[in-house]
Amino acid sequence: MNYAIYAISTGKIESLQYEDRRPMKSALNKKPIQAKMWLSRTGFVEDEQEYKDHGGPDKAVCLYSKSNYAMWQDVIHPLPDSALFRENITVYAIDETELFFGDQYRLGEAIIEVSEIREPCWKLQSKYGYPQLVKDMSKSGKTGCYFRVIKEGFVSPNSNLALVKHAPESTRLSVQALNDIYYNDRKNKVRIAYALNNPYLTEKRKSVLEKMLAQCSK
């Protein structure tokens, strides 16, 4: 299955200030790449990360679907054409129910694998001046996701996303399902235990889920 990409974007760390808040360092303002770029195990070579929980091998590439942009057209003005939520890949149309942990995609010469949920950041609220953004985005489950890089390679601006390997059905877990567990159903022992059986989750995510399961038993 192939998914058309609207834009592939990267950004540099800069000092930003929104409204009357103190300045912050961030690479929120990503721009579409204009030439092929190397995608390494830790991300695109010209993509910078300020915060320690952004980027790294398990969060090398961030994806968000342009089909989700309509959710925000009444509260974000003007609505950016791409990289609305600082995603690297703005794909035309893919739903979080279609994204399964362990699914592998070809992106140019590279191979990437669904690895983590996207936890919305307060900096996005500051940028767009919408205080409900993190809550609304989390509750909806339409957060996009992160990928780890299985094979490094060059990626062109006109690359597509092609599914090359599906995660095993026996432990299959979608981004939407894990988002729902994490944000809306944190006391569901059965769902948490099922999620913990997924071999593709990051160690950090497994640790969080184990703590959630322990809380359920109290």
- Average pLDDT of 210-214? 93
- The pLDDT score that the predictor gives to residue 54 is 62
For all residues of the chain together, what is the average pLDDT?
91
- The pLDDT score that the predictor gives to residue 108 is 97
d(CA 214, CA 218): 7
Model confidence pLDDT, tens digit, residues 110-152: 999 999 999 988 788 778 888 899 999 999 999 999 999 999 9
Residue 70: DSSP 8-state: G
89 close to 8: Cβ distance less than 8 angstroms: yes
**Count of all residues that appear for the chain in the document:** 218
- The pLDDT score that the predictor gives to residue 124 is 81
Q: What pTM does this model have?
A: 0.93
